[in-house]
Structure 1
Amino acid sequence: MIKTSDLREKEVINVRDGTKLGLISDIEVNLKEGRIESIMIPGPGKILGLFGRNQDYIINWQNIVRIGSDVILVDLTQNLEESINYEE
């Protein structure tokens, strides 16, 4: 079992091209079913989630390939615009 606080300390990396997407800033949980639906990563240019105009990345749980001791590997297509939902 892994804690959500442990997830927030891991770097998220796309296995398709090795892109470092950043650290998890938030987690969306489905309370009815008791499972994680998606993870949220601050968009590029944001500092501590406070400054910047870019949108956050929302990555569905189905796109997570493996959770390691230091990283979370996600499988996203080459075009991140098609694979990631955005939230303002």
Structure 2
Amino acid sequence: MLFSELKCKEVINLRDCRKLGHVTDFEFDQCSGCICKLIVPGGAKWKSFFSCDTDHVICYNDIKQIGPDIIIVDLPE
């Protein structure tokens, strides 16, 4: 899967069915080449300038399924 395909998918939290947004970045392990974390911005872009919304950093273990349109994650928030 290409990153351009990954960032078009909506990220949804399984616990409360809340839409978190789209993937904007990821972190990977340089030694293994595996993706460790996905990064999704926290909140609306225009609002984040005036508030202190933090990004959602989603560990690989919290990703439950990557489907054709969505990424389902299990975050305790």
Do these two structures clear the TM 0.5 threshold for a shared fold by scoring above it?
Answer: yes
For 1:1-88, what aligned pairs fall within 5 Å after superposition? 2-47=1-46, 51-52=49-50, 53-77=52-76, 80=77
Greater relative contact order (Cα < 8 A, sep 6+): 2
Residues 19-42 of structure 1: per-residue CA shift (max 9 Å, x gap): 100000101111211100000011
Please list every run of at least 4 consecutive aligned residues from structure 1 whose deviation after the TM superposition is greater than 6 angstroms.
Answer: none
Supply the AA of the counterpart residue of 2:32: E
Query: Structure 2: where are the runs of 5+ without partners?
Result: none
Q: What is the number of residues matched between the two proteins? A: 75
Distance (whole Å) between structure 2 residues aligned to residue 75 and residue 57 of structure 1: 12
Percent same amino acid at aligned positions? 40
Aligned-residue Cα RMSD (Å) equals 1.5
With normalisation by structure 2, the TM-score equals 0.86
Query: Structure 1: where are the runs of 5+ without partners?
Result: 81-88
Supply the AA of the counterpart residue of 2:33: G
With normalisation by structure 1, the TM-score equals 0.77
Shift of 1:45: 2.8
Is residue 46–residue 54 contact of structure 1 (8 Å, CA) maintained in 2? Answer: no
